[in-house]
């Protein structure tokens, strides 16, 4: 049944003009609720949707956007995606999900395919290795999350601020031997910026830094917790909730209940399993919402690319 009828047919059956049907299809203003409902009812009755080629010929888009996450199992990225989706759905966009696995080659491949398919826009979870060159041609229709790139819209987290807030809280609680579990400096944001902030705080307050930078995996948190514990350590700051979950498993196994854990994330899993952990919310939900709104603003010509930084909040 689908696509047998044309927009002209729908207009005739609804008793309106072709331009009104077109407005309804594109979710544009200037159509009364009653007319919109009538046109939609007719389209639903006949299982109508405009063909790709018909839309392209009229210079209209398919209203499809892509979200390229780095990992489908990332707690933080999932929180951002969860608030992105309703914004897209509300504005009539169909989002498709893709995964980069931190591979710049995969990003290039995905972007190439999306360009060929004439997709409206992309939200890209950026990472070290994604360069401005590989994003060429996407200036007006891409928003990067977690990383910025010159000339492109981005929504970033305050990595330094998040660590400062946690270190200050631990310091105010009287901790003077605070160890750190983080991510290698090859990862500029979660890795270098967070570790640098830890080191700067230690320097300013004359604390002895003790750190290991194994990576993003929970298992690494579990395996490396022991390596940063000295006889004096009273607190352990983890660069991510996932690392903290691994470290807490180690403390549980060793029956060590006297180390205060702190981490960046405030993810639901962490809050449920370990409400006692001090955590900072980097604003993943806010970032997702803002990224989607920014992208829609850009592709509809209402917004220019801009950089947004989400402030971190102590929970
Ligand atoms: O364990 P997770 O819940 O996945 O959180 C770890 C960090 O993930 C995000 O950073 C990583 O992915 C970014 C793209 O989303 C990338 O730019 C960054 O280099 C990676 O480290 C998130 O941005 C961090 O806040 C999380 O702590």
Which residues have a Cβ under 8 Å from the Cβ of 184 and sit 6 or more positions away?
191, 213, 214, 215
**Taking the model in full, what pTM does it have?**
0.83
Other C-beta atoms closer than 10 Å to the C-beta of 308 total 17
100 Cβ closer than 6 Å to some ligand 1 atom: no
Q: What pLDDT does residue 55 have?
A: 58
Ligand 1 centre distance from Cα of residue 81 (Å): 13
Architecture per CATH, 58-158+284-314? 3-Layer(aba) Sandwich (3.40)
Compute CA 206 distance to the chain's CA centroid, rounded to the nearest angstrom: 36
The pair of three-digit structure tokens given for residue 257, joined into one six-digit string = 């209940």
How remote is the C-alpha of 94 from its chain's centroid?
17
Interface pTM, i.e. ipTM: 0.99
Q: Measured from the CA of 76, which atom of ligand 1 is nearest?
A: 3
Specify the domain boundaries for CATH 1.10.260.40 within the chain: 7-50
> According to CATH, where is 3.40.50.2300 located in the chain?
58-158+284-314, 159-281
Alpha helices in 205-275 (DSSP H): 218-224, 241-253, 268-273
The CA-based angle 265-149-59, given to 5 degrees, is 105
Task: Give the pLDDT confidence score for residue 2 in this predicted structure.
Answer: 44
pLDDT at 228: 98
Ligand 1 atom having least distance to the Cα of 71: 4
Question: Radius of gyration over alpha carbons of the chain, in Å?
Answer: 24
Ligand 1 site, residue 22, Cβ cutoff 6 A: no
* Secondary structure letter of residue 25 according to DSSP: H
Q: Are 14 and 39 in contact (CB under 8 A)?
A: yes
Distances (CA, A) of 214 to 227, 228, 238: 11, 11, 11
Side-chain-side CA neighbours of residue 283 (13 Å): 20
Going from the Cα of 195 to the center of ligand 1, the distance in angstroms, rounded, reads: 14
Cβ of 187 below 6 Å from ligand 1: yes
The H-or-E segment that residue 278 falls in is strand 278-281
pLDDT in 10s for each residue of the chain, 315 residues: 445 788 888 899 999 998 898 888 876 778 898 998 898 888 888 877 666 555 555 556 789 999 999 999 999 999 999 999 999 999 999 999 999 999 999 999 999 999 988 999 999 999 999 999 999 989 999 999 999 999 999 999 999 999 999 999 999 999 999 999 999 999 999 999 999 999 999 999 999 999 999 999 999 999 999 999 999 999 999 999 999 999 999 999 999 999 999 999 999 999 999 999 999 999 999 999 999 999 999 999 999 999 999 999 998
Q: What is the CATH number of domain 7-50?
A: 1.10.260.40
Helices (H), 58-103: 75-90
What is the distance in A from the centroid of ligand 1 to the CA of 179?
21
Third-level CATH fold of 159-281: Rossmann fold (3.40.50)
Give the strand pairing for 278-281 and 313-314. Answer: antiparallel
Q: How far apart are CA 307 and CA 305, in angstroms?
A: 7
């Amino acid at each position: 049944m689908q696509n047998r009828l044309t927009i002209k047919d729908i207009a005739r059956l609804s008793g309106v003009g072709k331009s009104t049907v077109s407005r309804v299809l594109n979710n544009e203003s200037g159509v009364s609720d009653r007319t919109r409902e009538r046109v939609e009812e007719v389209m639903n009755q006949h299982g109508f949707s405009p063909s790709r080629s018909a839309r392209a010929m009229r210079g209209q888009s398919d209203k499809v956007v892509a979200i390229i996450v780095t990992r489908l199992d990332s707690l933080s990225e999932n929180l951002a995606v969860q608030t992105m989706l309703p914004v897209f759905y509300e504005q009539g966009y169909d989002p498709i999900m893709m995964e980069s696995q931190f591979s710049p080659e995969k990003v290039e491949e995905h972007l190439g395919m999306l360009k060929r398919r004439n997709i409206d826009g992309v939200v890209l979870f950026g990472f070290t290795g994604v360069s401005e060159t590989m994003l060429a041609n996407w200036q007006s229709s891409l928003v990067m999350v977690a990383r910025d790139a010159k000339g492109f819209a981005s929504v970033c987290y305050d990595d330094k601020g998040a660590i400062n807030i946690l270190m200050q809280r631990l310091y105010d609680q009287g901790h003077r031997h605070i160890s750190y579990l983080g991510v290698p400096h090859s990862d500029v944001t979660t890795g270098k910026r967070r570790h640098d902030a830890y080191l700067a705080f230690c320097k300013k307050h004359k604390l002895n830094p003790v750190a290991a930078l194994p990576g993003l995996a929970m298992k690494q948190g579990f395996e490396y917790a022991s390596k940063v514990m000295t006889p004096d350590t009273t607190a352990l700051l983890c660069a991510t909730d996932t690392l903290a979950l691994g470290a807490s498993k180690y403390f549980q196994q060793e029956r060590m209940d006297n180390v205060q854990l702190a981490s960046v994330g405030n993810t639901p899993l962490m809050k449920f399993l370990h409400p006692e952990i001090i955590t900072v919310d980097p604003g993943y939900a806010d970032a997702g919402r803002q990224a989607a709104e920014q992208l829609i603003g850009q592709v509809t010509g209402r917004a220019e690319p801009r950089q947004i930084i989400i402030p971190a909040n102590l929970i």
